[in-house]
């Protein structure tokens, strides 16, 4: 039995930072990872996919060069092996940096292997037992592969395997019209593939308001992506040359299928029942507002706890637990105002409630929208697709949420995110003097245009 002050299961974007914080205080900690340091973000999420998005954007800029008075003598081509190698280097560099950082802590051990609970405070890894009074689970999530008839007999891609492609698909069929699927759809279209998105519901990115979802669809169709809505998946098959997706509206033929139908937590093989750690029906670990599980002395951080599915919410989980355990704080997951991005081009920056959510929550609201075609910075850059939207409480004047779909939207939305965290009213923010020309300078204008709905 190897004894520690704390055990960390999983090396994503929450546990390792807490482990390092404790090790810096002289506590003896062990970080156990079954595969790669860095979790989804470093290895199969943010870093490699945004590197791919950057390559796709560069290809698109080259194609549009003549619009800006720049002459390129031939149609740009994409070398997928170089694109994949660049994304891989981004991942490997980040992974190496983490390993070097962890090696710098004298009281921190890193163990590679599959950890399973054998008792409340004991885990088993490769023939060795580890025990500690505090255990932190940070095992993340993986792509969910549904039981569509025939799918198991056909080669398919997920967001994890798609980032390693070194050959361009002839025709990529994306099953699912949410965030991950949309990013891969657009990047591969810009690399040169034909792309079809098949979505079961009536809108892409169904979490968003209808006007935002429709604007997203408009952006993708302008990239010559075929978008099919309200299609129920019936089966998948393969013939000599194609993979075939059968829906209630007919057949779609392509060369590759990407499954982008959600994610599931990596909790099914941890022996959680032996530790008294409960999960919900989808496998997410049940936690309270301070991220404590149903077992004393065990916490769940990051994607596996169902409290957020983003790198920044995972890191905030670390901040919450560190503040409460090490700094005498009393922070809660419910205190955070959620923001996130969709990294198609142009991107979507989102914070707080949608218009629909605000109404469902019982708020009397006022709303303001502005097309990006009326944003000077967007016009100057020749990127006028999308819109900006702001939602506020009509009675308290507090900002409830914003959606900035357009060039720079993922950065410009910070003006609203920061103001919401500071609980600033729209009246206070209205009189800010922003920098011109920027996208964010339109926030005071949006506030001035707020109208009750």
Residue with tokens 């300078």: 441
Based on DSSP, count helices (H) and strands (E) in the chain, helices before strands: 15, 24
Q: Does the pLDDT at position 28 exceed 90?
A: yes
Contact yes or no for 165/66 (Cβ under 8 A): no
Contact yes or no for 176/76 (Cβ under 8 A): no
SS3 state at 393: strand
Distance of CA 83 to the CA centre of its chain: 21
φ/ψ of residue 59, rounded to 5? -60, -40
Residue 428, Cβ neighbours under 10 Å: how many? 13
Residues 1-10: what's their mean pLDDT?
Answer: 97
Q: Does the pLDDT at position 25 exceed 90?
A: yes
CA–CA distance, 211 with 389 (Å, rounded to integer): 10
Closest CA to 350 of 359, 360, 358, 340: 340
pLDDT for the residue 199: 98
- CATH 3.30.390.30 in the chain, residue ranges: 346-452
- Cα-based distances in Å from 313 to 136, 334, 338: 16, 11, 8
Share of residues in the chain with pLDDT > 90 (%) = 98
CA–CA distance, 253 with 245 (Å, rounded to integer): 7
Residue 241, Cβ neighbours under 10 Å: how many? 8
- Reported as a single tens digit per residue, the pLDDT across 173-201 is 999 999 999 999 999 999 999 999 999 99
Whether domain 2-143+264-335 has CATH 3.90.1640.20: the reply is no
- Reported as a single tens digit per residue, the pLDDT across 77-123 is 999 999 999 999 999 999 999 999 999 999 999 999 999 999 999 99
Task: Count Cβ atoms within 10 A of the Cβ of residue 379 and give its class: 0-12 exposed, 13-18 middle, 19 or more buried.
Answer: middle
- Reported as a single tens digit per residue, the pLDDT across 254-287 is 999 999 999 999 999 999 999 999 999 999 999 9
Residue with tokens 């921190």: 108
In the numeric block, which tokens belong to residue 19?
């482990």
CA–CA distance, 21 with 44 (Å, rounded to integer): 25
> Three-state secondary structure along 274-313?
HHCCCECCCCCECCCCCCECCCCCEEECHHHHCCCCCHHH
- CATH 3.50.50.60 in the chain, residue ranges: 2-143+264-335, 151-261
Average pLDDT taken over every residue of the chain:
97
Architecture of the 151-261 domain:
3-Layer(bba) Sandwich (3.50)
- Reported as a single tens digit per residue, the pLDDT across 218-242 is 999 999 999 999 999 999 999 988 9
pTM above 0.85, yes or no: yes
Catalytic residues: 436
pLDDT for the residue 10: 97
What CATH number matches the domain at 346-452, 3.30.390.30, 3.40.50.450, 3.10.300.10, 3.10.129.10? 3.30.390.30
pLDDT for the residue 3: 97
The two beta strands, 141-143 and 256-259, are: unpaired
How is 167-206 classified by DSSP, letter by letter? S--SEEEEE--SHHHHHHHHHHHHHT-EEEEE-SSSSSST
> What do you get for the CA distance between the two ends of the chain, in Å?
64
Closest CA to 265 of 210, 216, 306, 207: 306
Residues 371-388: what's their mean pLDDT?
Answer: 98
Q: Does the pLDDT at position 295 exceed 90?
A: yes
In the numeric block, which tokens belong to residue 16?
């390792």
pLDDT for the residue 309: 86
Contact yes or no for 230/222 (Cβ under 8 A): no
Contact yes or no for 380/437 (Cβ under 8 A): yes
DSSP element (H, E) containing 99 = helix 80-103
Contact yes or no for 342/348 (Cβ under 8 A): yes
Residue 166, Cβ neighbours under 10 Å: how many? 12
- Cα-based distances in Å from 108 to 13, 26, 319, 321, 430: 17, 9, 19, 19, 49
Closest CA to 354 of 389, 401, 303: 401
CA–CA distance, 214 with 386 (Å, rounded to integer): 10
């Amino acid at each position: 039995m190897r004894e520690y002050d704390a055990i960390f299961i999983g090396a994503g974007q929450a546990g390792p930072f807490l482990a390092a914080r404790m090790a810096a205080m002289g506590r003896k900690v062990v970080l156990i990872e079954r595969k790669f340091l860095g979790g989804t973000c470093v290895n199969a999420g943010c870093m490699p996919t945004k590197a791919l998005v950057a390559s796709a954007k560069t290809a698109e800029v080259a194609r549009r060069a003549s619009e800006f008075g720049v002459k390129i003598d031939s149609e740009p081509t994409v070398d997928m092996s170089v694109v994949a190698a660049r994304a891989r280097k981004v991942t490997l560099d980040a992974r190496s940096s983490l390993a070097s950082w962890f090696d710098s802590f004298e009281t921190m051990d890193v163990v590679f292997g599959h950890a399973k609970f054998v008792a409340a405070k004991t885990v088993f890894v490769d023939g060795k037992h580890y025990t500690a009074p505090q255990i932190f689970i940070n095992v993340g999530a993986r792509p969910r592969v549904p039981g569509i008839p025939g799918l198991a007999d056909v080669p398919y891609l997920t967001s994890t395997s798609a980032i390693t492609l070194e050959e361009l698909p002839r025709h990529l069929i994306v099953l699912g019209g949410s965030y991950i699927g949309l990013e891969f759809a657009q990047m591969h279209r810009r690399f040169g593939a034909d792309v079809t998105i098949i979505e079961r519901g009536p809108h892409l990115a169904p979490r968003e308001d209808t006007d935002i979802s429709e604007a997203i669809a408009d952006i993708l169709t302008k990239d010559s992506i075929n978008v099919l809505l309200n299609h129920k998946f019936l089966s998948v098959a393969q013939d000599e040359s194609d993979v075939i997706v059968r829906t209630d509206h007919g057949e779609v033929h392509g060369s590759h299928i990407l499954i982008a139908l959600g994610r599931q937590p990596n909790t099914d093989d941890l022996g959680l029942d032996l530790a008294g750690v409960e999960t919900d029906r989808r496998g997410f670990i049940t936690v309270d507002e301070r991220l404590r599980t149903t077992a004393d002395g065990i916490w769940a951080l990051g994607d596996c706890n169902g409290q957020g599915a983003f790198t920044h919410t995972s890191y905030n989980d670390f901040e919450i637990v560190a503040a409460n355990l090490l700094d005498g704080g009393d922070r809660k997951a419910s205190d955070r105002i959620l923001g996130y991005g969709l990294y198609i081009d142009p991107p979507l920056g989102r914070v707080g409630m949608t218009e629909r959510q605000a109404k469902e929550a019982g708020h009397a609201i006022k709303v303001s929208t502005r097309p990006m075609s009326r944003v000077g910075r967007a016009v100057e850059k020749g990127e006028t697709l999308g819109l900006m939207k702001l939602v506020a409480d009509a009675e308290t004047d507090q900002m409830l949420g914003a959606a900035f779909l357009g060039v720079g939207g993922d950065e410009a939305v910070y003006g609203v995110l920061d103001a919401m965290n500071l609980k600033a009213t729209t009246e206070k923010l209205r009189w800010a003097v922003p920098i011109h020309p920027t996208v964010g300078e339109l926030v005071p204008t949006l506030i001035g245009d707020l109208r009750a709905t």
